[in-house]
Amino acid sequence: MILPQPPAPSPTALEGRQVVVVTGSTSGLGREVALAMGERGAHVVVHGRNRARGLEVAQEIQAGPGTASFYAADFGSLAQVRALGDALLRDYERVDVLVNNAGIWLTGNDERQESSDGLELSFQVNYLAGYLLTDMLLPIIPRSADSRIVNVASGAQAPIDFDDPMLERGYSGGRSYSQSKLAQVMHTMDLAEELDGTGIRVNSLHPATLMDTNMVRSAGVTPRSSVDEGLEAVMSLIGPEDPGSGGYFNGTRDGRAHAQAYDEDARAALRRLSDELIGR
């Protein structure tokens, strides 16, 4: 892992700036969110695996009113997620906005893939890595209504079978993506309850359908919406407007998630499973 490039700014350089962490900001939607927050004068933590693209985004932010640092971490390794969390705790006194956006859509070949931790890959990269990173950063997210956690989920959602959450039976790329995305929505609702009274707003969303990004193009699917559409939806949850907390949004409107998200027992089962998997 490369830590960090360029070096994290001193606490005085950050005074008056929002500190914004955007996972998966080397391309697509995350990149646009990172650039937009840079335009607002924020300090942006750019993240992804691709160092060249990450540094390019950080440099573009630095050329405007914002500042930025790039951190590399492969979410297919929980050790790398932990190292990222540790590095951010070392380098920053606070994180005002956390956008859990990094994600993969494994299409084309329906061969089940595992992370280096032996977990189903989409579950780990799309959901569990963000679960762990959020858990690590929570102590430095200010208890304030300006603090935001945004989980970039999707309208593609499938229920989690708690007898086979790693999809050892009946795997398909679509199912793995959809269950990981529902897990993000369930975690959001659960976390909002836990954070009730702290001021911190936590929401999830389906940004837009088939945006013109690498994810969609490399799946061989014709894009149906622009990244700007998804950007507008994410930015509406970052504020300054108050979106409330615990919501699931379809673009900029209130959305209705899969029924399992509203099942408290299922959410508790997911939390138990997630805590066990991150060794909490």
Q: Which of residues 78-107 bind ligand NAP (CB under 6 A)?
A: 101-104
As a whole number of angstroms, the distance between CA 14 and CA 10 comes to 7
Can residue 116 be called a binding residue for ligand NAP (CB under 6 A)? no
Q: Tell whether omega for the bond before 7 is within 30 degrees of 0, i.e. cis.
A: no
What is the SS3 assignment for 104?
coil
Is 92 designated active site?
no
- Residue number, 106 or 195, with CB nearest to ligand NAP: 106
Half-sphere exposure of 242 (CA within 13 A, CB side): 7
What is the SS3 assignment for 114?
strand
- Residue number, 80 or 198, with CB nearest to ligand NAP: 80
**Least distance to ligand NAP, CB of residue 27, Å:** 4
**Least distance to ligand NAP, CB of residue 38, Å:** 16
Residue of 4, 30, 243, 251 that binds ligand NAP (CB under 6 A): 30
**Least distance to ligand NAP, CB of residue 2, Å:** 12
Per-residue b or e along 6-22, where b marks 16 or more CB atoms closer than 10 Å to that residue's CB: eebbeeeebeebbbbbb
Residue of 215, 237, 257, 277 that binds ligand NAP (CB under 6 A): 215
DSSP string, 182-242: HHHHHHHHHHHHHTTTS--EEEEEE--SSBSSHHHHHTTPPP-B-HHHHHHHHHHHHSSS-
Can residue 122 be called a binding residue for ligand NAP (CB under 6 A)? no
Q: Which of residues 33-52 bind ligand NAP (CB under 6 A)?
A: 48-50
Determine how β-strand 248-250 pairs with β-strand 253-254.
antiparallel
What is the SS3 assignment for 163?
coil
**Least distance to ligand NAP, CB of residue 105, Å:** 6
Nearest position to ligand NAP, beta carbon? 28
Residue numbers annotated as active site: 177
Residues at the site binding ligand NAP, with contacts judged by CB under 6 A: 24-30, 48-50, 53, 74-76, 101-104, 125, 152, 154, 206-207, 210-211, 213-216
